[in-house]
Every structure is written in structure tokens, then in C-alpha cells.
Amino acid sequence: MKLFHIISAVCICTLLISCNHEGPKADCGCDGPTTKRFQDVAVSYLGDGYFLVPQKKEGSSYSDQITALIACNMDSSWAVSTSPTIANYIISGNMKMSCPDDFNRLWEGYQPATITKIEAKR
């Protein structure tokens, strides 16, 4: 019985010591590393931090690579665009990697991004 208590105490101490270290850094989402920088991109603001890049059709292919963003640093003063196809802001920032979605791993959805500059489009 004494051996059981000693082993239990050692296991508990090991667990407590191992749980004191800092957790792993995020590799996705707003806390993850920057995967791409973008500068002066025309976007329409949809509200709640969501931006959409209106697609520019050139022949049969689309020229824009960034299509949808969600701001990591949302500002409640941003005005919603009158139409998703009409850009109302010019933004620059740092794109982050989307975190996997268990529901649908093929479509990543909105890319998280830290907005470093935003100006109303004239």
C-alpha cells in the first residue's frame, strides 16, 4: 500500500511539473504567424470584421488572389459597403493562416488578417 502512495505521489508531481510550461504557440488564426503581406487592396466591408475583395474578371480568369478576410483588429467605426461588389475601403495588412474547420477542411473560408492601414475609398 505504501508503494502505491509513493507511485501516485510521483505521478501527480510529474503531472504538475509538466503542466507548468507555456503552451504551444498558435500556428493559425490571429495569433499565428504572418503568411502574406498585402498592400493597398480595394475591399468592400460587410460588417462584423468581414471584408470581401470584389473580383476583377480578366478574360476567363480572376486576377485577385485574396478574396475574403476577417479582421483580427476590428473597429466599430468602419462603415458597411452599400454592395459587396463595390469597394469602400483600401486596406493593407498581414494575412494569417486559417485554422482548420472540422466541418469542411477543403474550404478555408475567411482568412484572418491584421489590418495595418485602412482608408475610405474615394
For the segment 55-103, what is each residue's pLDDT rounded down to a tens digit?
766 654 444 456 789 999 999 999 999 988 889 999 999 999 888 765 5
Q: Contact at 8 Å (CB) between 89 and 51?
A: yes
Neighbour-count burial of 103, counting CB atoms closer than 10 A to its CB (0-12 exposed, 13-18 middle, 19+ buried): exposed
- For residue 45, report the phi and psi dihedrals to the nearest 5 degrees: -90, 125
Q: Closest by alpha carbon to 94, among 113, 74, 111, 66?
A: 113
**What is the reported pLDDT for 27?**
83
Q: What is the pLDDT of residues 22-62, one digit of tens each?
A: 555 568 889 999 999 999 999 999 999 999 987 766 654 44
Phi, psi of 82 (to 5 degrees): -70, -20
* pTM for this prediction: 0.68
Q: What CA–CA distance (Å, rounded) separates 36 from 100?
A: 18
Percent of the chain with pLDDT over 90: 46
Instruction: State which H helix or E strand residue 118 sits in.
Output: strand 111-120
Q: What is the pLDDT of residue 105?
A: 52
Say if CB 97 and CB 90 are below 8 A apart: no
Quote the pLDDT of residue 24: 59
For position 64, what pLDDT does the model report? Answer: 47
